[in-house]
Amino acid sequence: MLDDALDQQRQSLLSPGERRRRARRAARATRRSSRRWAKAPRRRSRAWRATPAVGVVVLLVLWFTPGLFQDHALPVIRPYLPHASAPPPGVGAAQAPLGTPPEVEDPGGYRFMDPPDPAQPMVAYDPCRPVHYVVRPDGGPPGGRQLIEEAVAEISAATGLRFVPAGTTTEAPAEQRAPYQPERYGRQWAPVLVAWSDETEVPGLAGNVVGLGGSTARQAPGRPFVYVTGQVALDAPGLTQVLDHPDGAAHVRATIIHELAHVVGLAHVDDPTQMMHPAGGATVLSAGDRAGLSELGSGPCVPQL
């Protein structure tokens, strides 16, 4: 009570102008404190939370070794986060799509990754921006870089999305990979990461798992979710063994295509003739695969991100 009385007495000795200036400074300090400590919501996809009990899925990449290899389809889906967690809106965005999806028949038989918003049937990459990608070549098998380039070209042709190589990186794959890394990649969304790895670095590659693939989605206010970056982790020891078999290169390429199809938004299907079947041996994209990829190439442009 005495402190309050003394404070009121001191305030009464100030001029009206000085009292107004002190009030404005206090208000500004309050606003700065609120901005500094406000936290935007974060959300992880169900597939990440369910791994490995529910999120594990199977991919047989070899006809000659049934049941040997598997993969995960694990998207990382987070809502739009403002300020330091995102680049300036519109970086790299064009006024129109950079490519056109091929016209294909739609026989069905494909599925999209589960969207964060049930009202949105699918999530895709913004076709008005190039999809930059980097490769971590460390530990990769002989000819691994060429197989990645061939797989990327296949996915690009099937979606109409423009994939642009951005060189090599030392970045390691991570379950909680940051989609915006300005200190490493500049003020833009981080490029899609394709990394040769092993179970020591990525525990999800343990056992007969040879690949992990998925993407991160963001949403600008009032706009649909779109993927802004993704990653693929490839089991270098296991796939190196595959290359020693007849047609091994075709099966490794198919594995990379399968994982990149997860990255752009395709999920597994029940039809064993499709490359996206979790226990099939297809080495080329089938009609259902191509129909789903073509649709994923016609997603919305979101320059607000």
| Tens-place pLDDT, residues 170-224 | 999 999 999 999 999 999 999 999 999 999 999 999 988 899 999 999 999 999 9
Q: How far apart are alpha carbons 43 and 49 in whole angstroms?
A: 10
Dihedral sign of CA atoms 271, 275, 277, 281 in order: positive
Q: Which two tokens stand for residue 257?
A: 């295509």
Residue 85 confidence class, pLDDT cut points 50, 70, 90: confident
pLDDT, average across residues 153-162: 98
Q: Say what the pLDDT of residue 279 is.
A: 73
Percent of the chain with pLDDT over 90: 65
Q: Say what the pLDDT of residue 139 is.
A: 95
What residue type is 119 in one-letter code? A
For residue 21, the number of C-alpha atoms closer than 13 Å in the C-beta half-sphere is 5
Q: How far apart are alpha carbons 275 and 112 in whole angstroms?
A: 14
Q: Say what the pLDDT of residue 155 is.
A: 98
pLDDT, average across residues 297-305: 95
Calculate the average pLDDT of the chain. Answer: 80
Tell me the pTM: 0.76
Where are any strands of DSSP class E within the chain? 56-57, 70-73, 76-77, 111-112, 131-136, 163-168, 192-197, 209-218, 226-235, 266-267
CA distances from 262 to 82, 212, 289, 294 (A): 26, 9, 11, 14
Residue 20 confidence class, pLDDT cut points 50, 70, 90: low
Is the link from the previous residue into 115 a cis peptide, with omega within 30 of 0?
A: no
Residue 21 confidence class, pLDDT cut points 50, 70, 90: low
Query: Helix axis angle, 144-159 relative to 248-264, nearest 10°?
Result: 50
